[in-house]
Structure 1
Amino acid sequence: MRFPYVPERRGTALWHVPRVPVVLHGRNTSVKLHSLVDSGSDHNIFGLDVAHRLRLALANEQPVQLQGFAGGQAEGYLVPIAMTVAGHRFATTAIFTAAATMDAGILGQVDFFSFFVVTFDYQNKLIDIRRPR
């Protein structure tokens, strides 16, 4: 499935970034986001506000240290979740951290790219996400 890059203003500059619609599923609730597809991130990363909206009990989850995130180190919780992208629902994991100030989240290599074939077409400002054959 192809998605157009999303224009975002950063200061006076206009950037086009690869964001895709995702649905994160909690036990009895779900959250819709437009998350950044980031080939430089190892994991899916979301803010604590998203965890609260999903009604996740983070105190029972595995604490982890994030390296190189938000300009240094950050603490978070590695949590098993379900996610829907491009009509495909799958079980994965995500790190929830107070250091993630953007409400849309990041989709990373281990927890997202491993489920799909992802093609960035920057010239045409498109991202293509397909299930492997």
Structure 2
Amino acid sequence: MSDILIRRKHQLGLARAREIAWKWAEDAEEQFEMECTVEEGDDCDVVHFERSGVKGTLQVEADHFELTARLGLLLGAFKQKIQAEIENNLDTLLAEEATRAAKGAAPAKKAATKKATAKKAPGKTPK
């Protein structure tokens, strides 16, 4: 068995870090067929994820993320590639958030909601 440990500091606060973690979990479910569940807490959340050959958690705190995963025997041979992909996914989400914050833009989730609402409004054509 191989273990992966990834830790990323941030300055998002718990509410925004939680949204980033949920996005990460949605991506993991879609791209890697992971089964994800979220345990919400007052001071931190824990995203549990698993599929055949992989089991782990993403701990979400106001100032950092900590991902731990255990790879089974077969996937252990691909540890470096899997770890690099997880790091890339998490780093990309954090970079997107930093870019949004620098531009003062609304989070993508809220923008997407507004766009979806515009599509549903009768008599209006979305652009």
The structure carrying a bigger helix percent of its residues is: 2
TM-score normalized with structure 2 length: 0.28
Q: Higher relative contact order by CA 8 Å / sep ≥ 6: 1 or 2? A: 1
Structure index of larger Rg: 2
TM-score normalized with structure 1 length: 0.27
The structure carrying a bigger strand percent of its residues is: 1
